[in-house]
């Protein structure tokens, strides 16, 4: 008898969780969720493109740094003219790295903010049903965003260790 009561309580609590998760979005919730989808769809592609451009620049700077290091190893310490020219190129490379890293910082903040929006969407909107009439009351851009969903949206990631490196000597 006691085991049956426990089974019923477990089944009842499990069905309560399913009902809570399956609760339909209200119109204000749907409006907020659709705005988030719209922003995620727009901003993720823009930030991904910016991230790819900065990654290419970082790779070029890091390649230049490696080439300068290799050239430094070959340059005779007594060759003042070559040493000064190499030092100037290193300084230029370092300035390029610093400028790139300064441009990466705001991009990283934008990506972090977008990830917060995505986490909020996942927590409060994802997988929840909504009323068709509420969806139809939204502006076309928000309806389209909700219909497209989030399956193909990827927020970029910038590895903190991926900053451009330049050394001086």
The rounded mean pLDDT for the chain is 83
Residue 8 lies in a domain: no
For position 75, what pLDDT does the model report? Answer: 77
Residue 1 lies in a domain: no
Structural contact between residues 157 and 47, judged by C-beta atoms closer than 8 angstroms? no
Residue 52 and residue 49: Cα distance in Å, rounded?
5
For position 132, what pLDDT does the model report? Answer: 95
139 backbone φψ class: left, alpha, beta (φ>0; ψ -120 to 50): beta
For position 168, what pLDDT does the model report? Answer: 46
Residue 11 lies in a domain: no
For position 162, what pLDDT does the model report? Answer: 61
Residue 114 lies in a domain: yes
Number of domains in the chain: 1
pLDDT band at 4 (very low <50, low <70, confident <90, very high): very low
Residue 18 lies in a domain: no
> Which of the two residues, 165 and 63, has the higher pLDDT score?
63
For position 22, what pLDDT does the model report? Answer: 67
Residue 87 lies in a domain: yes
Three-state secondary structure call for residue 25:
strand
What is the rounded average pLDDT of the residues 93-102?
94
Nearest to 148 by CA among 64, 58, 50, 42: 42
For position 17, what pLDDT does the model report? Answer: 33
Residue 44 lies in a domain: yes
For position 74, what pLDDT does the model report? Answer: 81
Residue 68 lies in a domain: yes
At which residue do the structure tokens 């823009």 appear? 46
Domain with 71, as residue range(s), is: 25-159
pLDDT at residue 5 tops 70: no
Structural contact between residues 49 and 109, judged by C-beta atoms closer than 8 angstroms? no
Tens of pLDDT, residues 124-166: 999 999 999 999 999 999 999 899 888 888 888 776 666 666 5
């Amino acid at each position: 008898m006691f085991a049956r009561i426990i089974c019923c309580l477990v089944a009842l609590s499990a069905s309560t969780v399913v009902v809570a998760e399956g609760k339909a979005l209200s119109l204000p919730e749907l409006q907020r969720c659709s705005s988030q989808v719209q922003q995620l769809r727009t901003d993720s592609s823009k930030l991904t493109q910016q991230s790819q451009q900065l990654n290419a620049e970082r790779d070029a700077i890091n390649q230049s740094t490696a080439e300068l290091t290799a050239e430094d190893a070959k340059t005779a310490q007594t060759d003042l003219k070559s040493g000064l020219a190499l030092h100037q190129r290193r300084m230029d490379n370092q300035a390029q790295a610093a400028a790139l890293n300064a441009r990466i910082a705001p991009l990283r903040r934008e990506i972090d903010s977008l990830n917060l929006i995505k986490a909020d969407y996942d927590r409060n909107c994802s997988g929840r049903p909504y009323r068709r009439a509420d969806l139809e009351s939204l502006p076309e851009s928000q309806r389209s965003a909700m219909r497209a969903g989030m399956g193909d949206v990827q927020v970029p990631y910038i590895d903190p260790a991926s900053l451009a490196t330049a050394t001086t000597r």
